[in-house]
Amino acid sequence: MAKRLHIKTYGCQMNEYDSSRMADILVPLGYETTDNPKDADLVILNTCHIREKAAEKVYSEIGRLRLMKDHRQQNGEEMMIAIGGCVAQAQGEEIMRRAPAVDMVFGPQSYQALPELIEKAKLAKNNKPSARPVAMDFASQDKFDRLPAQTSQNGVSAFLTIQEGCDKFCTFCVVPYTRGAEHSRPVSEIIAEARRLVAAGAADITLLGQNVNAYAGDDGSGQPARLGELMTQLADLDGLSRIRYTTSHPRDVDDALIAAHGDIEKIMPYLHLPVQSGSDRILEAMNRKHTADDYRAIVARLRAARPDLALSSDFIVGFPGETDRDFDHTMDLVRDITYAQAYSFKYSPRPGTPAAELTDQVAEDVKTRRLSILQDELRLQQNAFNEATVGKVLPVLFEKPGRHEGQWVGRSPYMQAVAVDGAAAAGASAGMEAQVEITGLHAISLAGRLVSSVDTDREAVAS
């Protein structure tokens, strides 16, 4: 009988990609995925360490799993518990000490070793607990070299990691410590993976990296290709109709990347470009190495290249030393740029990062107040952006049937979910695109009606 695998993923899209790759590795070992951890022979928690209580959440989840593991053992069944991802990288040894139910721990650059880790963990069962395996190497290219072909992602939208790690060391952030140094995969490897994703049904690919626009992968001649160049090559792939990338850093937006937004139609006009703060003083203390005006200038150039570009960002409020005045600068920037969507967080001191050591930490109630002011503004901007699309005709890429009879749900170029009534009767299916007039707003999606026939070109390509 097939063994069953349950993966629970926390954190960013790179973790989602990694989870799909863990499943790829385990398929040849006879594992099938299950949504229910109670049925699983192997449970992997792919963890995130970015903000507070991350580790506590992992321990409480381990506690729940331990009960399931005991229950399975009483029934003569097994359950192995594996902790992967960024908490594992940061606190692996401690997890092993504190949680005897955990069979193995591995970091984000070590999951290619899963088959060996499972073998070692089985041996460890009959041995002393300290023999349980811990894998923490930063071996990014070795990881990609050893991964089998992607098979777990077969939807219309797919993720493709092109770059790992971060050398930026923003003073608030754990990522450089949990993911290691920047590393870019070679162009040929990325193109080959994109081809396989398209053959499996992907039409919209999001290129991933902690600093995706720091990409500098071998172009085949030993020279580094930048992101703009990589996307130019990807745009030649038949069947791939939409290209996105995330997360980018303002410092690494170069001329070629800006030009690509104007030249390559397949690059979607929606960009996540985190700024974190609008105060130069705070940006400097964060080690972002750009000012608020640098950011305004980059956005202006991107919008000149692609006038309909919609923007998204991340913000941190209450970074140590942030005054009301600093926060006002953030609000000014938000009003200047106008975002289609954004994420905002209270600053959370992370162990081992420089900002956590600063003495002028901001009081919790001040953070709460600033966050709510910021989020109110961002919500207004998001609603205004969505309302402005009502009445427009947009290309919608269908992903799945909607909740209502005959309805299909797809995405606009700006990442908005659009529910289109009557699309099934017009021949909609996953991966097809149609022109849709946006007719109104639902709570979390837009409503639309078809104004063109469904484009079946992609089917011709795929067959």
Q: Shortest gap between Cβ of 418 and ligand SAH (angstroms)?
A: 27
In three-state secondary structure terms, 1 is coil
Q: Which is nearer to ligand F3S, 153 or 353 (CB)?
A: 353
Q: Which is nearer to ligand SF4, 34 or 47 (CB)?
A: 47
Q: Find, among 260, 213, 259, the residue nearest to 234 by Cα.
A: 260
Interacting positions 184-243 with ligand SF4 (CB under 6 A): 210-211
For residue 323, whether the previous peptide bond is cis, meaning omega lies within 30 degrees of 0, is no
Taking the C-alpha atoms of residue 66 and residue 76, their distance in angstroms, rounded to an integer, is 15
Taking the C-alpha atoms of residue 346 and residue 332, their distance in angstroms, rounded to an integer, is 18
Say which entry of ligand SAH, ligand F3S, ligand SF4, none residue 51 contacts (CB below 5 to 8 A, set by partner kind): ligand SAH
User: Which residue stretch of 162-170, 230-238, 323-331, 435-443 sits at the interface with ligand SF4 (rule: CB under 6 A)?
Assistant: 162-170
Interacting positions 158-177 with ligand F3S (CB under 6 A): 174-175
For the residues of 172-205, what is the DSSP string, one character each? T--HHHHH-S-EE--HHHHHHHHHHHHHTT-SEE
Q: Shortest gap between Cβ of 273 and ligand SF4 (angstroms)?
A: 12
Taking the C-alpha atoms of residue 430 and residue 462, their distance in angstroms, rounded to an integer, is 12
Interacting positions 3-22 with ligand F3S (CB under 6 A): 11-12, 14-15
CB 43 within 8 A of CB 65: yes
402: left (phi over 0), alpha (psi -120 to 50) or beta: beta
Taking the C-alpha atoms of residue 87 and residue 51, their distance in angstroms, rounded to an integer, is 11
Asked whether position 50 contacts ligand F3S by CB under 6 A, the answer is: yes
Say which entry of ligand SAH, ligand F3S, ligand SF4, none residue 348 contacts (CB below 5 to 8 A, set by partner kind): ligand SAH
Which of 49, 242, 249, 261 binds ligand SF4 (CB under 6 A)? It is: 249
In three-state secondary structure terms, 417 is strand
Which position has the token pair 């150039």?
Answer: 301
Asked whether position 122 contacts ligand SAH by CB under 6 A, the answer is: no
Q: Shortest gap between Cβ of 277 and ligand SAH (angstroms)?
A: 9
Say which entry of ligand SF4, ligand F3S, ligand SAH, none residue 24 contacts (CB below 5 to 8 A, set by partner kind): none
Q: Find, among 58, 410, 360, 345, the residue nearest to 173 by Cα.
A: 345
By the criterion CB under 6 A, which residues form the site for ligand F3S?
11-12, 14-15, 48-50, 85-86, 174-175, 178-179, 210
Binding residues (CB under 6 A) for ligand SAH: these are 50-51, 172-173, 175, 210-211, 247, 249, 274, 276, 314, 316, 345, 347-348, 350
